[in-house]
Chain A
């Protein structure tokens, strides 16, 4: 059995080093991990999901591939050094052009491949579009994301970690954007202030697959990027939205509470709604405990000392690495303690 977490860890290392959770966090990552990751031995694995959908594992964050007669649509692109291997994996699924990339959020373990993979694609463009801005408009795949992803990637206030060629070419600002591609309706759903302030989930309606980005992962507590507008309440709202959309399989009138809608998490294994329910219950219970402690006037240090996650730590916790249990508790505490509207920031 192949081990996947290495790629995921590397993706997060890239996340912390390239975009970072601030300089101090990047230094912490550097200390704990050491040299830059070597991707030469990393592999991309392809898991057929259902309908038109495949899941690529091992290139940082999970990548969702929708392949059909109209071409290829991707949800996220993994880390930059894995782009060639990701492209090779996509080519083994479909020889048709890569038309669209949807970024679930800004972090480079999900957007690092934007530049190389978008260049390998081709937008459906013609008529007035080509006439107005030239034939080059069609020379790359379109990159779609929530507006704040572009805002942050192109920000002049911070380090220019993202090359312009990796930026979204199309953004949306509404709660939801809809499109139709490869014979199915696709809903791009914005979840405000969750993992970041620019999160999107993608629901493939005919294939019945949801690609969640890092609002839902299976291998750790949810990362809440407070500096980029994340908040525990948004993560829980996102998990509840997945549960609301997903429909489990049934046989002869019996709801089996598994199967049916498939859920591709930002990191970790393929899931269905029952897995999301377990995770949502865990995150909600921890949120409720920390809120109760805040209501009792406990300080952050007191909350950490009380270990409100201790029953889930063997499964999701970490004492080292880029997202420790302490960091998670701190992010939950600060998100809950902040006045409404004060969570996150630029």
Chain B
């Protein structure tokens, strides 16, 4: 347990005085690690909203859909070679998403604080996502990140600080994971910065991924939640089993050309060149360029929307 220092006592007094004059202003000026008293504190239970990116998030992305991703050739080729059967391997069946991606899943979200009893300082926030039971700790006490030879985890090592009304989380020590769930990877050398923005009963989570291995520019995307005090944090039992009888050590992949890459651009009338992604495809002006590109013939039988 941390001791109470004179500085912290003065800080508490200052916070109380400012709080009496206007909670929101006090919160914006609260020093890092202090409980936010103006309602921006993200603690509580939250339910996901899927208005944004439904196709990618819930049915799952199409094979070969790299649109809007600032990826390099290496990431593109990882995606091309990826075979969904990889997820069938027992060692991958219960593999949880990284803390930069887990917000995207069909998960309720629970956020809570650890508060020092004596000083009422927020030591850490914790997040729990019902999908895979992923649990992240966000240290608010200013501790340093571990050395680079320490263990990497799915959730990584996270520290947080307040920037105005936003809780800004910096995460390192991540294991490899997804950028998009069709084989586009995010490396274990990436850093993520997450902005938690509470506005009324809504919580917006903006994730920015910096990956020196597979991204040419930082990649940002947002995910929304709505406050739901009745949200159930259901268990996520997962026990790997042998789903397919295959030789030990076999790793499914497209060793040669992936025959399915044209299906996505053909089905949706998107130029195959655009489907390959890249930083350029993130920006609105790319739509003008797309108009000059050739399309593949649409398949005779149109697959109904999912």
Contacts A256-B133, A313-B74 given: A269-B150 contact, CB under 8 Å? yes
The list of the 7 closest CB pairs from A to B, nearest first, reads: A311-B77, A284-B251, A255-B94, A253-B237, A240-B249, A311-B78, A269-B149
Contact in complex: B236, A258 (CB < 8 Å): no
- Is B214's CB under 8 angstroms from A281's CB? no
Pick the residue among A1, A2, A310 that contacts B74 (CB under 8 A): A310
How distant is the Cα of A310 from the Cα of B97 in the complex, in angstroms? 25
Contact indicator B148/A310 (Cβ below 8 Å): no
Task: Judge whether A270 and B77 touch: CB under 8 Å.
Answer: no
The residue in B86, B213, B251 that gathers the most chain A C-beta atoms within 10 A of its C-beta is: B251
CA of A312 to CA of B153 in the docked complex: distance in angstroms?
20
Which residue of A has the minimal Cβ distance to B73? A310
> Does B72 lie within 8 Å of A270, measured CB to CB?
no
User: Which residues of B, 53-97, contact A by the 8 Å Cβ criterion?
Assistant: 72-78, 81, 86, 91-96
From A78-86, A141-149, A152-160, A271-279, give the one contacting chain B: A271-279
Contact with B along A215-244 (1 / 0, CB 8 A): 000000000000000000000110010010
> Complex: how many Å from CA A4 to CA B146?
13
Cβ of B95 and Cβ of A274 under 8 Å apart?
yes
Whether the Cβ atoms of B91 and A315 lie closer than 8 Å is no
> Is A57's CB under 8 angstroms from B149's CB?
yes
Cβ–Cβ contact A252 & B151, under 8 A: no
Q: What class of interface size applies to chain A in its complex with B?
A: 35 or more
B199-248: which have CB < 8 Å to A?
212-214, 235-240, 248
Q: Which single member of B91, B144, B154, B251 contacts A273 (CB below 8 Å)?
A: B91
Q: Which residues of B contact A257 (CB under 8 A)?
A: 91-96, 240
Count of chain B residues near A, Cβ 8 A: 48
A256 engages B189 (CB within 8 Å): no
Q: Tell me if B50 counts as interface (CB < 8 A to partner A).
A: no
Q: Does B187 contact A (CB under 8 A)?
A: yes
A-B contact pairs, 16 of them (CB 8 A): A1-B144, A1-B147, A2-B147, A3-B148, A4-B147, A45-B147, A47-B149, A240-B248, A254-B235, A255-B93, A255-B240, A256-B132, A256-B154, A258-B154, A288-B251, A292-B256
Q: A252-B133, A252-B237, A269-B152 are known contacts; what are 14 more A-B pairs with Cβ within 8 Å? A: A240-B249, A254-B132, A255-B239, A257-B91, A257-B92, A271-B151, A273-B91, A275-B175, A278-B176, A289-B255, A310-B74, A311-B73, A311-B77, A314-B74
Q: Give every chain A residue within 8 A of B151 (Cβ-Cβ).
A: 262, 269-272
Check if A342 is an interface residue, CB within 8 A of chain B: no
Q: How far is the CA of A257 from the CA of B134 in the complex (A)?
A: 11
Structural contact, A254 and B236, CB atoms closer than 8 A: yes
Q: Number of residue pairs across A and B with beta carbons under 8 Å? A: 126
A45 to B150, CA, bound (A): 11
CB distance from A65 to the nearest CB of B (A): 14
Q: Do the beta carbons of A4 and B81 come within 8 Å of each other?
A: no
A346 to chain B, nearest CB (A): 28
B74 touches A312 (CB 8 A): yes
Interface residues of B (CB under 8 A from A): 72-78, 81, 86, 91-96, 132-133, 144-145, 147-154, 175-176, 187-189, 212-214, 235-240, 248-251, 253, 255-256
A222 nearest CB across to chain B (Å):
15
A280 at the interface (CB under 8 A from B): yes
Q: Is the CB of A277 within 8 A of B92?
A: yes
Residues B149 and A270 in contact, CB atoms below 8 Å apart: yes
Q: Mark A288-322, 1 if CB is under 8 A from B, else 0.
A: 11001000000000000000001111110000000
Q: What mask results when residues 79 to 115 of chain A are scored 1 for a CB within 8 Å of chain B, else 0?
A: 0000000000000000000000000000000000000
Cα A237 to Cα B249 in complex, Å, equals 8
Structural contact, B214 and A314, CB atoms closer than 8 A: yes
- Tell me, in angstroms, the Cα distance from A118 to B151 when the chains sit together: 29
Distance in Å: Cβ of A231 to nearest Cβ of chain B: 15
B170 to A: closest C-beta gap in Å = 13
Q: Give complex CA distance A40, B176 in Å.
A: 35
Whether the pair A1, B235 counts as a contact (CB closer than 8 A) is no
Bound complex: CA A273 to CA B235 (Å): 23
In the assembled complex, the Cα of A258 lies from the Cα of B268 at a distance in Å of 38
Q: When chains A and B are docked, how far (Å) is the Cα of A285 from the Cα of B76? A: 16
Q: Which residue of B lies closest to A273 (CB)?
A: B91
B78, B86, B237, B251: the one within 8 Å of A254 (CB): B237
Q: Which residues does chain A contribute within 8 Å of B74, judged by CB atoms?
A: 310-314
- A272–B188 Cα gap in the complex (Å)? 13
Residues of A within 8 A of B248 (CB): 240
Q: How far is the CB of B129 from chain A (nearest CB, A)?
A: 13
What separation, in Å, do the CA atoms of A168 and B147 have in the docked complex? Answer: 33
CB contacts (< 8 Å) of A278 on chain B: these are 175-176, 188
A268 within 8 A of B: yes
A269 to B146, alpha carbons, bound, how many Å? 11
Q: Is the CB of A285 within 8 A of B214?
A: no
- 0/1 interface trace, chain A 151-187, chain B, CB 8 Å (1 if under): 0000000000000000000000000000000000000
Q: Determine if A251 is an interface residue (Cβ-Cβ < 8 Å).
A: yes
CB pair A314 B213 closer than 8 Å:
yes
B240 → chain A, closest Cβ, in Å? 6
